[in-house]
Chain A
């Protein structure tokens, strides 16, 4: 048997209750479906004394999806997102991403907030206490160096592998961030700070990957509909279910006549953050031709930086992320 970590679970039913619990237990961690966190607790990776169960918070359980917009509370289950007729009809990239996560049991428990904040992963991190104790704990836990990049000088390369984030990022989603004093709104892309730069810019990495301040949490994610937008999600996996993405790609684009009028591409499973490719606007305005694909290749090559954090080599993940992106763009453009 594995060493068992004891924790206390608080189950607030209202937003006020959550804030109260957070004030009382500043070190508490938030619990969604537990499909990742509970496993990590068992592995001794994290040892929170208090968990605040968010799944019963009434204000966070609403989902609204129609031709005007999309708003999903943080405690909405992934299965609900995948099956919601409004999401399927108007925001297919979100429905497809949600439907592709792990397996049915995980989607029935897992929440939108949990998936957006999914802990970054690494083969040196997602291991048992027993394993890590014999392998010099890594930077993301209590160690001094990143075993993936020993010369990284304090930068962690653990990989973000949530599926929902890239999908929502291609729709220019915003997140509502709640804290004791109120609420702030942030573009979803800015939630993820895992740039993993060595330049001392103070940006985050695989260890500090979310732009959340102590006491803050995600209340909802919101999208304003763009008429005529086509979107889709695809990912590489080695088997059909119960697997983190080897690489996942979300694309949203608009076609006007024969012109590519708008393009967003986001990638997961590669960097310490989901990457909304910068520079796709420059590829728009003309036909979908070799120039666009060449440009897209360059953006992937420059911005996707996958390290040996999973059992699949980084260069392969980057390469096939590019292939998936090209295919999705082509398929969506063709309609």
Chain B
């Protein structure tokens, strides 16, 4: 519905957009972003925050980049504007699009239109800008995926090389290992990719949730009839009583503790109590005070200490101590062993809530199709969404279809359902499409966060620096509802001793309910928090033992054949030693550099830190299968039915590369069908760094299965070469060539003549009561070095350089792997230095700070390929490993520079300054 706010006082505005003169009747108060998107239907311009904080809506106005969301429509009168849809007409516009594609500068793509407009602005002002100029001039646009560096490279490439646009393709059968250009990249560069808010049926109503402004309150609803009379554009109000099935959702089968609509009580600020469906204009006119809701605020439990305090009230019946779940891993006798250790390090560490800050807020629409429900929305987990919506509607899950839209970033935040159940309830009752998009504040207030952690840990080693014991007690604030809390509590004890050989371990984690924002999945599931502790303690031990920090880690690194604290023997692909070997020359050079710098520098101190990590790929001790399907139709169409959602990380491209090589046909031969739950098999969720490893293996098996069918059909040997020419499938084996006319083969009803299906479920065993077992089939390993400058007068920290070495098993697509590493480093830097979500406070993108262009260090990436025999062509995962070592490396570097250990992140300038002052290290100049 391209309807806009009420047109009382409406006035025409005339402007030129993309070279076309337009006159649009705009409502009072309307912004240029709304005129362009809803008035003119040009949805290439994205809206991320509606407050000028993210720059996703950047357009050119008289040649200058501006945020369309901050321009009152009337201010556009007489102006000439260009949006992404007109970029190709600008000088260098096409070259920029091509360079972004070539450099993989667009991952999820939601910021890309704004980025490209900013880039066009830069290049129109500077014929040959340097790196700094580009970074400064594009600093108004945020990207949460790429870490910015590939964007800078792309812009500089165009500036330096002009119109050069050649790309890199891959030869048939040799796609794996190539920098194949993102297969779904082109629409992201033209603004044509459709995200959650970019399309809905024309007759769709809008939905707006009404949420609790209180963190803990009882509430009652009065008579809604007068409200509805006063707001004729509102069609219906939905409350808990309107939920046809179960008014509950949650990740775990036994933990459906989160209501779609609160029932008399709310447990966190931002919890939905009802939803309104109606025209957009009517909904925009509603204030929370208009509704007959009586709130009775109650004292809230904020933070784990309050929730665990003696006598604290229970937030959920059945959990009297507010402990949602406990996780443990125990082996050996840590206490006894520690008593004999040469060196002991211990400490308490705290981390904050961290917001995913994907630039695309939750958005989508639902429509009822007969007795089925269809949801089109951005998501990381379509099959899980399907099952949740089915439960809420009381339908069989086959009666729900999830069609993922393009997803403008996820990072774990779009694994839980958000608006899907509400949309489903409304569309079910109204039998009319219903759409919704969260405002930024609503998104930040109501959706999951990274768990704040309070960790006490102790490590010991012998005189030679060999680790003896590790003990950790970690409390993780899971907020008001379970979400992924059990995953965090389960994953942390497995990983908490770090990627090291430690014979005696006792790691315990608890997920604790509070009245804070629910914490869920966020890139690493608690492991990044735990890594901050183990790496700080290793630095301590290295100092005590007088051993270089890298060498200490090298000495203790897990190697193939070693036993982990869960009793698992690592069979292969444990490449931490290779990572450290790759970093060693840079470590030594950068140590010398820091020493030389510090010899003359007074207020600025340079330091070097190192962080190591390991990360189990896939679910912890749980089945997490994926099934992929390839088909050949009688008309020669080769289709890849792929249920793995690409949230920008590149699984669509990577899985196709794998399938292509397994089958023996080029990537370009494939038609791609991604994510639709009606037509693809369950690939599992896009999380836990699992799609390359698990779905990749399934894709390999599917490709091999189809190849086997073809070879059998033609009696060809395993080395045969395949070619697809229309409906002619040519199989060449040595000198022999067989041509299969696909049109002549017996076909199923859908025209499919040949099929290959592959399923892979990584072999794991559940953990026992002491946390013993095989939680993961394989692990990623990594080490990163950070070089930072700390200002002793201001407490500010500038990260200068990160050198990253990652054992990925095999880099299926090195460009995409680098992209994950860059983006992970950016988020790790944010975790270390600036990101702190305070419920009820920092619910926007200028008080909640994520890194901008100018905050990025130089990054060097070393890819280590210690092949994983179980993985597709040896590959493992990279999504989460990319982030985990960064914060520990930065914190270690601050310590190296200043001698001060920061125990609470983010290390904001005032915290660093306070620590420096307490240690007598702060300077006045």
Enumerate chain A interface residues (CB-CB to B < 8 A): 1-9, 11, 31, 33-35, 38-39, 41-42, 44, 51, 53, 55, 79, 102-106, 108-109, 123, 126-131, 133-135, 236, 238-244, 246, 293, 297, 311-313, 316, 319-320, 322-324, 326-327, 330
Contact = CB atoms under 8 A, between A and B. Distances in A.
Given A128-B441, A241-B854, A1 B834 contact: no
24 contacts: A1-B439, A4-B29, A4-B285, A6-B29, A33-B70, A41-B29, A53-B75, A79-B64, A102-B140, A108-B65, A108-B66, A109-B66, A109-B67, A128-B843, A130-B211, A131-B843, A134-B295, A135-B840, A239-B834, A240-B139, A240-B852, A242-B53, A244-B846, A316-B909
Contacts of A240: 135, 139, 852-855
Contacts of B73: 9
A129 B437 CA distance: 19
A206 to B, nearest CB: 18
Given A7-B29, A104-B138, A242-B142, A320 B794 contact: yes
Contacts of A135: 213, 840
Interface stretch (B286-294, B474-482, B809-817): B286-294
A323 B140 contact: no
Given A6-B27, A236-B909, A104 B214 contact: no
B909 A34 contact: no
Interface string B121-154: 1000000000000011111111000000000000
B847 interface: yes
Contacts of A38: 31, 52, 69-72
B255 interface: no
Contacts of B852: 103, 239-242
B849 A320 contact: no
Nearest to B30: A4
A35 B69 CA distance: 9
B735 to A, nearest CB: 64
B736 to A, nearest CB: 63
B280 interface: yes
A103 B72 contact: no
Contact of B65 (A104, A128, A319): A104
B795 A4 contact: no
B284 A1 contact: yes
A4 B5 contact: yes
A103 B64 CA distance: 13
Contacts of B9: 6, 8
B424 to A, nearest CB: 19
Nearest to B288: A130
A1 B909 contact: no
B67 A8 contact: no
List of 5 A-B pairs having minimum Cβ-Cβ separation, nearest first: A240-B854, A134-B213, A103-B140, A241-B139, A9-B74
Interface in B246-291: 269, 280, 283-289
Interface string B531-563: 000000000000000000000000000000000
B50 A42 contact: yes
B684 interface: no
A9 B77 CA distance: 11
A39 B846 CA distance: 11
Most buried by B among A31, A105, A108, A313: A105
B65 A105 contact: yes
Given A2-B441, A3-B286, A7-B29, 11 more contacts: A7-B72, A44-B287, A53-B74, A105-B55, A239-B850, A242-B139, A242-B845, A311-B836, A312-B910, A320-B795, A322-B924
Interface in B690-740: none
A55 to B, nearest CB: 7
A31 B70 CA distance: 11
B914 interface: yes
A104 B140 contact: yes
B684 to A, nearest CB: 33
Interface residues of B, number: 85
B564 to A, nearest CB: 38
Most buried by B among A3, A51, A135, A239: A239
Interface of B: 5-6, 8-9, 27-29, 31, 50-53, 55, 58, 61, 64-67, 69-75, 77, 118, 121, 135-142, 206, 208, 211, 213-214, 269, 280, 283-289, 295, 297, 437, 439, 441, 793-796, 833-834, 836, 838, 840-843, 845-847, 849-855, 908-910, 913-914, 924-925
B910 A6 contact: no
A236 B28 contact: no
Contacts of B853: 240-241
A21 to B, nearest CB: 13
B834 A238 contact: yes
A1 B31 CA distance: 14
A2 B439 contact: yes
A239 B137 contact: no
Given A39-B70, A104-B65, A242 B909 contact: no
Contacts of A316: 795, 909-910, 913-914
A102 B794 CA distance: 20
Contact of A34 (B70, B118, B795, B842): B70
A19 to B, nearest CB: 19
Contacts of A6: 5-6, 8-9, 27-29
A177 to B, nearest CB: 24
A323 B924 contact: yes
B28 A326 contact: no
Nearest to B295: A134
Nearest to B75: A53
A168 to B, nearest CB: 23
Given A131-B213, A242-B852, A326-B925, A106 B284 contact: no
A25 to B, nearest CB: 13
Contacts of A330: 925
Nearest to A3: B287
Nearest to A244: B846
Given A104-B138, A316-B909, A327-B793, A39 B51 contact: yes
B846 A320 contact: no
A126 B845 CA distance: 12
A105 B54 CA distance: 10
Contacts of A108: 61, 64-66
Nearest to B215: A134
B28 A130 contact: no
Contacts of A236: 794, 796, 909
Contact of B77 (A11, A103, A297, A319): A11
A323 B793 contact: yes
A131 B213 CA distance: 6
Contacts of A31: 72, 75
A1 B38 CA distance: 14
A62 B821 CA distance: 48
A41 B74 CA distance: 15
B66 A105 contact: yes
Nearest to B834: A238
A103 B53 CA distance: 9
A238 B909 contact: yes
A293 B923 CA distance: 13
Contacts of B65: 104-105, 108
Contacts of A241: 136, 139-140, 852-854
Contacts of B6: 6
A137 B426 CA distance: 33
Contacts of A123: 841, 847
A55 B64 CA distance: 15
Contacts of B843: 127-128, 131
A110 to B, nearest CB: 9
Nearest to B29: A6
B704 to A, nearest CB: 48
B28 A34 contact: no
Given A105-B65, A108-B65, A4 B284 contact: yes
Given A11-B74, A108-B65, A239-B852, A42 B51 contact: yes
A16 B841 CA distance: 43
Contacts of B118: 104-105
